[in-house]
Amino acid sequence: MLVTVSDFPGVLRVGDLEIAVTVSDRRKSVRLTVERDASVTAVVPPQVSRVELAQMVEAKRAWLYGKIAEKRDLGEPAPDKELVSGEGFLYLGRSYRLRVVDSGKVRLIHGRLELARGDGAKDLVDWYRRVGQPWLTRRIQPWVTRMGVELTGLRVRPLGYRWGSCSRDGQVNIHWATMQLPPSLIDYVLVHELAHLRRADHSAEFWQIVKRALPGHQDYRERLRRTGNDLWLPEEGR
Ligand SMILES: [Zn+2]
């Protein structure tokens, strides 16, 4: 195969992966990125050939697939909301109108979400985290038992565009934005993360574990993908 310096820019196909490649004089090594929309891009130094890049992509295939699956979890965020009375916010799948009051902590009362004048998105995000912590800690317990995994802790926090993450020591992190979902979809997020305590990747074995705990998981996954687009995800909470 003829390899020249003019291999790129262009599109490189490796198996079912399609990689948009650009060239940068300033780069000394290849940078592979899975973008927010789950597309893959590469920035390469001028002398890198298609063959070399294809080998590199092959070597990182598992990592790339994992990243792509993650990015597809949480879709593009909905346009930002205005923090004014009447604006709707989701909590456990239901919409509640915001009521701006003179003072006090954020709270859900009489079917209204109260926010003090002068408070911002950060305060609302903190509220989701505060109510989410005990709610999710309780909700995950039956799944832990059912799936026979070892959970050492659950934390509610911002996680970028991912629903959840977990660490090898059995800690599960759940995005606070998850609290906007209906409970049935939250269950899917929890099961997904617990399954990762057994398998770190998104292999067939991983999906088997999910399926055993939650038959019909593909349906949940699809619904989650669609619902993910409607969620509020302000910069302050990413
Ligand atoms: Zn996953």
**What is the whole-number distance in angstroms between the Cα of residue 44 and the centre of ligand 1?**
28
**What is the whole-number distance in angstroms between the Cα of residue 105 and the centre of ligand 1?**
34
**What is the whole-number distance in angstroms between the Cα of residue 224 and the centre of ligand 1?**
13
Domain membership of residue 27 (yes or no) is yes
Domain membership of residue 230 (yes or no) is yes
- 224: CB partners within 8 A, 6+ apart: 73, 163, 181, 185, 188, 189
Mean pLDDT rounded to a whole number for the chain: 89
Model pLDDT, residue 2: 43
Highest mean pLDDT of the ranges 33-37, 42-46, 63-67, 129-133: 129-133
Query: Do 53 and 133 share a domain, yes or no?
Result: no
Which band of pLDDT confidence, cut at 50, 70 and 90, is reported for residue 219?
Answer: very high
Listed range (47-51, 142-146, 205-209) with the worst mean pLDDT = 47-51
Q: How many domains does the chain have?
A: 2
Judged against a pLDDT cut of 90, whether residue 59 lies above it is answered with no
**What is the whole-number distance in angstroms between the Cα of residue 119 and the centre of ligand 1?**
34
Domain membership of residue 190 (yes or no) is yes
Query: Do 215 and 152 share a domain, yes or no?
Result: yes
**What is the whole-number distance in angstroms between the Cα of residue 89 and the centre of ligand 1?**
26
Q: What is the pLDDT of residues 131-147, one digit of tens each?
A: 999 999 999 999 999 99
Please return the burial class of 76, using the count of CB atoms within 10 Å of its CB with bins 0-12, 13-18 and 19+.
exposed
Q: Which residue has the higher pLDDT, 75 or 162?
A: 162
**What is the whole-number distance in angstroms between the Cα of residue 52 and the centre of ligand 1?**
29
Per-residue HEC secondary structure of the chain comes to CCCCHHHCCEEEEECCEEEEEEECCCCCCCEEEECCCCCEEEEECCCCCHHHHHHHHHHCHHHHHHHHHHHHHCCCCCCCCCCCCCCEEEECCEEEEEEEECCCCCEEECCEEEEECCCCHHHHHHHHHHHHHHHHHHHHHHHHHHHCCCCCEEEEECCCCCCEEECCCCEEEEEHHHHHCCHHHHHHHHHHHHHHCCCCCCCHHHHHHHHHHCCCHHHHHHHHHHHHCCCCCCHHHC
Q: What is the pLDDT of residues 185-202, one digit of tens each?
A: 999 999 999 999 999 888
**What is the whole-number distance in angstroms between the Cα of residue 184 and the centre of ligand 1?**
17
**What is the whole-number distance in angstroms between the Cα of residue 177 and the centre of ligand 1?**
16
**What is the whole-number distance in angstroms between the Cα of residue 43 and the centre of ligand 1?**
26
The residue from 73, 94, 110 where one domain ends is 73
- Region 30-59: mean pLDDT is 86
Model pLDDT, residue 116: 97
Domain membership of residue 143 (yes or no) is yes
Cα–Cα dist 105/118, whole Å: 11
Domain membership of residue 114 (yes or no) is no
**What is the whole-number distance in angstroms between the Cα of residue 210 and the centre of ligand 1?**
10
**What is the whole-number distance in angstroms between the Cα of residue 111 and the centre of ligand 1?**
34
Domain membership of residue 92 (yes or no) is no
**What is the whole-number distance in angstroms between the Cα of residue 131 and the centre of ligand 1?**
24
Q: Which residue has the higher pLDDT, 73 or 8?
A: 8
Query: Do 136 and 64 share a domain, yes or no?
Result: no
Which band of pLDDT confidence, cut at 50, 70 and 90, is reported for residue 1?
Answer: very low
Model pLDDT, residue 66: 78
- Region 77-93: mean pLDDT is 88
Query: Do 144 and 56 share a domain, yes or no?
Result: no
**What is the whole-number distance in angstroms between the Cα of residue 132 and the centre of ligand 1?**
20
Q: Provide the residue range defining the domain that includes 142.
A: 128-237
